[in-house]
Amino acid sequence: MIPELGHIILLLALGVALVQGVVPLAGAQRGRHDWIALARPTAYLQFVLVVLSFICLTASFVRHDFSVLYVASNSNSALPLPYRIAAVWGGHEGSLLLWVLMLNVWTVAVARFSRSLPQVFVARILAVLGLLAAGFLLFMLITSNPFERLLPAAADGRDLNPLLQDPGMVIHPPMLYMGYVGFSVAYAFAIAALIGGNLDAVWARWTRPWTSAAWIFLTFGIGLGSWWAYNELGWGGWWFWDPVENASFMPWLAGTALIHSLAVTEKRGSFKAWTVLLAILAFSLSLMGTFLVRSGVLSSVHAFATDPRRGLFILAFLVLVIGASLLLYAWRAPSVGLGQRFGIVSKESMLLVNNMLLAAACAAVLLGTLYPLFLDAMGMGKISVGPPYFDTVFVLMMAPLMLLMGVGPLMRWKNDELTGVARRLRWAFALAVVAALATGWVAGQVAPATTGGLVLAYWIMASIGVDLLERLRPRSGLGGSIVGRARLLPRAMVGMMIAHLGVALFAFGVAMVKTYGTERDVKMGPDSSTDLAGYHFRMVSVRNVDGPNYAAAQGLIEVSRDARVIAMLQPEKRIYRVQNNPMTEAAVDSNLLRDLYISMGEQLPTGEWVVRVQHKPFIALIWIGCLVMMFGGGLAASDRRYRSRLTRDAMLRPAVLGGRAR
Amino acid sequence: MKRFLLPLALFFVLVAFLATGLRLDPREVSSPLVDKPAPAFQATVLARPEFILRRDDLLGKVWLLNVWASWCSACRVEHPVLIDFARRGGVPIYGLNYKDKREDGLGWLRQFGNPYRDSLFDPDGRIGIDYGVYGVPETFVIDSKGVIRYKHIGPVTPDVLRDTIEPLLRKLNA
């Protein structure tokens, strides 16, 4: 009964989404205020319906209803409750439902926090979001109904993919989807502004906090996914350039570019056409990521359920959504006009280069991801692309970007002088070089590539320091203490500095772990031991442990340094009973300075185990860097000027209404 | 206006490729090498750098060539299947360790088990090019005369093994 209820509710939600997508949009074109007024109520109603349907599916999982095909394929009677709930989005159908749920969360947030925006504009935004929801609901109902029955019911389920049975997996997909789907808001703002013809600085200011919010979630989702892969895949890597990782990384790159170009559009009115294109692209890449993951055109560990029919539907949807948006763009963008002029040496041109580099990096990732497909489609399948390609190309793009990251924030808008900037930053640069060499010397090896990475990381930190010092220096008209002057710094600016600091920490972590990480594979039995990077590892015992749905061999390894025990680690080798999959459950002792990472391999005929011990200096900074970036983004998004209720709506409204008649 | 149509044009080129990609199964691209003699190779063995293995050393028996790499995430998916296949006996599997580092490859085998009789070491992908390797993993069935009889792209699943590869092996060994 519950699954049927969920199914019917989904159908109702589709109906509501269609009303939400069509009526307010038509109302905005024809000036019908009663139609426009429908936007918010329908958005709320759709949200309630989708939540109810999501609850229905969750209930089927919790109650072990194996007469539902999706539950039978992704759960098992021995699966613990938290994982049964996470299993709701552990497969294709349920993760689509999560997608739609997230879309509704964002829609409701827009409906709720857009009181200060013109009604017509909000109606268009909510309508665009409604149409997107309708597309996905239709996709779900036609090709991937999560409530499909399995009659007669299965005696027991096939269990959740063991890779997904990890605490990180419970929150990784929702966060990632919040980010993915979050770009739909920036997209809807862009489309609404293109239709209404009010693509201006005020539009950019409205879009900025939403873009930053989506970007924060995406950063968190990607970072969490990387951390999960590190802990769960059991081989100590943290990024694999897997097609699905790339699919989430491309919108991130486009979104990062968008955040920066929105700043120019808001402050100087320039880059408008480019900004709106980026808003469309960021969301289009999210959609395309969905296509790549779901259609099976590329093979990947993540691609759990693939079906060409689904692929065809998503492709048609892609053509409709992206094609229509780009057509609208081609039609409307030429009349947008250029912003104010700027010199070659100016903050604008710095941000322009930033955008070009990020866009190029995004294109390089897209190319690398689709390369096998391109070659295949053209009938020549000779070259495969792996991490060697991505690592090289990506570093080539990111190095100049980070170099600019130290210069750009200190430049003045419109026009600046190169010599002046160079003078302000010369000590920062010298300091960065010295610090990088010193770090290499302390670590015991100065390698050119690493030193380059470290110089860039220190360079960003030093230039943030210079920027901060200059801004806090006593100036005429700005009296008071340092603290007083610090308080006067706009939050958006502090947020930017912190986010850039996050990039520096991240780069530092990557450079350190790539060069100074060490590892060793050893045979270990009870009481055997090994040494690595000054640590002593002794295997105490291996015992058999029974989990709820797996059996495991669990090692107990004592880690000591200078004869002092610092950790007892318990790596496991698990066999999940239902799918009969071996899984490596690594054990990690982590602090800011280093991770000690132990994973168990195969058991040898002698009874000993192959154990991989890894020492990873500063790897935690990779994820801490992500958290710091997020924190910076959050600060910037919460700047006062986005929250003030007194916008210039009164002035704007006529312009918006005027735009709709065209 | 023309300038602003460019993104749309690029998008349609992309769509054309994606649409073509939909009709192709990434795991079932027929190789021009099927039913042709396996390209000759001469390579060191992963575990024994001093030992050279040639194609002709393997004439006279049916064998599988499995292309893998430690950086390849999909290889992890098929690995238990290969381990299981090797454990059951049958024909030997030779690995082709593709564009990898020796210590990484060896570590990976220690970590996840070694289903291979031996693995050819192909750090610059030269053998891979000869064999038309399109992505990792790939698996070739090579008969006792050294002719490639089948090629599978992507992870070998238990279904592929049971429905395609094993019947073919029975036929070849009959």
Q: Could you give the ipTM of this predicted complex?
A: 0.77
CA B118 to chain centre: 14
Q: Check whether residue A196 and residue A79 sit in a common domain.
A: no
Instruction: List Cα–Cα distances, A432 to A453, A456, A460, A503, A629, in angstroms.
Output: 11, 7, 8, 15, 21
Q: A297: pLDDT confidence band, cut at 50, 70 and 90? A: low
Say how far apart CA A542 and CA A520 lie, in whole Å.
19
* Secondary structure of A571-626 in HEC code, one letter for each residue: CEEEEECCCCEEEEECEEEECCCEEEEEEEEEECCCCCEEEEEEEEECCHHHHHHH
The pLDDT of residue A581 is: 67
The pLDDT of residue A305 is: 41
> Across the strands, what pairs with A575?
A551, A582
Q: Check whether residue A37 and residue A69 sit in a common domain.
A: yes
Last residue of a domain, one of A343, A375, A406: A406
**Nearest residue on chain A to B23, judged by CA atoms?**
A308
The pLDDT of residue A655 is: 40
Which of A245-254, A587-596, B135-144 is least confident?
Answer: B135-144
Mean predicted lDDT score pLDDT of chain B: 84
Say how far apart CA A50 and CA A9 lie, in whole Å.
7
**Dihedral angle sign, alpha carbons of residues A445, A508, A176, A589:** positive
Q: Check whether residue A208 and residue A325 sit in a common domain.
A: yes
Q: Check whether residue A358 and residue A422 sit in a common domain.
A: no
- Range A544-566 average pLDDT: 90
The pLDDT of residue A295 is: 61
Tokens describing residue B1: 């206006």
- Range A134-140 average pLDDT: 93
Is A383's pLDDT higher than 50?
A: no
Q: Is B29 on the interface with A (CB under 8 A)?
A: yes
Q: Would you tell me which residues 77-96 of chain B have a C-beta closer than 8 angstroms to some C-beta of chain A?
A: 77, 80
Q: B157: pLDDT confidence band, cut at 50, 70 and 90? A: confident
Q: Check whether residue A55 and residue A197 sit in a common domain.
A: no
Q: Do A521 and B27 touch (CB under 8 A)?
A: no
Q: A361: pLDDT confidence band, cut at 50, 70 and 90? A: very high
- Range A645-657 average pLDDT: 43
Q: A59: pLDDT confidence band, cut at 50, 70 and 90? A: very high
Q: Check whether residue A190 and residue A220 sit in a common domain.
A: yes
Which of A166-180, A320-334, B112-126 is least confident?
Answer: A166-180
Q: Is residue A51 part of a domain?
A: yes
Is A5's pLDDT higher than 80?
A: yes
The pLDDT of residue B24 is: 62
Strand pairing report for A609-617 and A518-524: antiparallel
- What lies within 8 Å, CB to CB, of A178 at 6+ separation is A102, A105, A106, A214, A217, A218, A221
- What lies within 8 Å, CB to CB, of A444 at 6+ separation is A516
Higher-pLDDT residue of A12 and A228 is: A12
For chain B, what percentages of helix, strand and coil (3-state, to nearest 5) are there? 40, 20, 35
Say how far apart CA A602 and CA A237 lie, in whole Å.
19
Question: Using one digit for the tens of pLDDT, what is the confidence trace for A154-201?
Answer: 888 878 877 778 787 778 888 888 998 999 999 999 999 999 988 888
The pLDDT of residue A379 is: 60
Residue at A359: amino acid letter: A
Residue A154 is given by DSSP the state P
Is A100's pLDDT higher than 80?
A: yes
Q: Check whether residue A212 and residue A326 sit in a common domain.
A: yes
Say how far apart CA A142 and CA A133 lie, in whole Å.
14
**Nearest residue on chain A to B135, judged by CA atoms?**
A384
How is the beta sheet containing B93-98 ordered, strand by strand?
Answer: B118-122, B93-98, B63-68, B138-142, B148-153
Strand pairing report for A581-585 and B118-122: unpaired
The pLDDT of residue A231 is: 83
Q: Check whether residue A411 and residue A400 sit in a common domain.
A: no
Residue at B104: amino acid letter: D
Q: Check whether residue A451 and residue A341 sit in a common domain.
A: no
Q: Is residue A629 part of a domain?
A: no
Q: Is residue A646 part of a domain?
A: no
Q: Is residue A64 part of a domain?
A: yes
Last residue of a domain, one of A361, A382, A406: A406
- Range A467-487 average pLDDT: 77
Q: Is residue A161 part of a domain?
A: no
- Range A271-300 average pLDDT: 81
Mean predicted lDDT score pLDDT of chain A: 87
Tokens describing residue A328: 């609208």
Tokens describing residue A57: 């599916």
Claim: this prediction has a pTM higher than 0.90: no
**For chain A, how many structural domains are there in total?**
4
Decide if A377 contacts B26 (C-beta within 8 A): no
Q: Check whether residue A27 and residue A79 sit in a common domain.
A: yes
Is B49's pLDDT higher than 90?
A: no
Q: A122: pLDDT confidence band, cut at 50, 70 and 90? A: very high
- Count interface pairs A-B at CB distance under 8 A: 132
Q: Is residue A575 part of a domain?
A: yes
The pLDDT of residue A24 is: 96
Q: Do B22 and A242 touch (CB under 8 A)?
A: no
The pLDDT of residue A401 is: 95
Long-range contacts of A108-115 (CB under 8 A, 24+ apart): A108/A43, A108/A44, A108/A47, A109/A185, A110/A43, A110/A185, A110/A188, A110/A210, A111/A39, A111/A40, A111/A43, A111/A44, A115/A645
- Range A339-365 average pLDDT: 90
Which of A471-480, A483-492, A516-525, B94-103 is least confident?
Answer: A471-480
Last residue of a domain, one of A406, A434, A468: A406
Which of A331-340, A370-379, A545-554, A631-640 is least confident?
Answer: A370-379
Decide if A302 contacts A234 (C-beta within 8 A): no
* Residue A416 distance to chain B (closest CA, Å): 30
Question: Using one digit for the tens of pLDDT, what is the confidence trace for A493-510?
Answer: 999 999 999 999 999 999
Residue B5: strand, helix, or coil: helix
Q: B30: pLDDT confidence band, cut at 50, 70 and 90? A: low
Strand pairing report for B52-54 and B42-44: antiparallel
Q: Do B7 and A277 touch (CB under 8 A)?
A: yes
- Range B6-13 average pLDDT: 89
* Secondary structure of A267-284 in HEC code, one letter for each residue: HHCCCHHHHHHHHHHHHH
Q: Check whether residue A261 and residue A384 sit in a common domain.
A: yes
Q: Is residue A225 part of a domain?
A: yes
**Nearest residue on chain A to B28, judged by CA atoms?**
A376
Q: Is residue A103 part of a domain?
A: yes
* Residue B174 distance to chain A (closest CA, Å): 32
The pLDDT of residue B76 is: 79
The pLDDT of residue B23 is: 66
The pLDDT of residue A447 is: 84
CA B73 to chain centre: 14
Which of A113-122, A399-408, B156-165 is least confident?
Answer: B156-165
Nearest alpha carbon to residue A14 among A136, A114, A97? A136
Q: Check whether residue A482 and residue A601 sit in a common domain.
A: no
Residue range(s) defining the domain that contains residue A195: 166-406
Nearest alpha carbon to residue A496 among A350, A327, A396, A361? A350
The pLDDT of residue A374 is: 75
Decide if A275 contacts A241 (C-beta within 8 A): no
Which residues in chain A have their CB less than 8 angstroms from residue B126's CB?
A: none
Instruction: List Cα–Cα distances, A656 to A193, A270, A327, A540, A650, in angstroms.
Output: 9, 20, 21, 73, 11
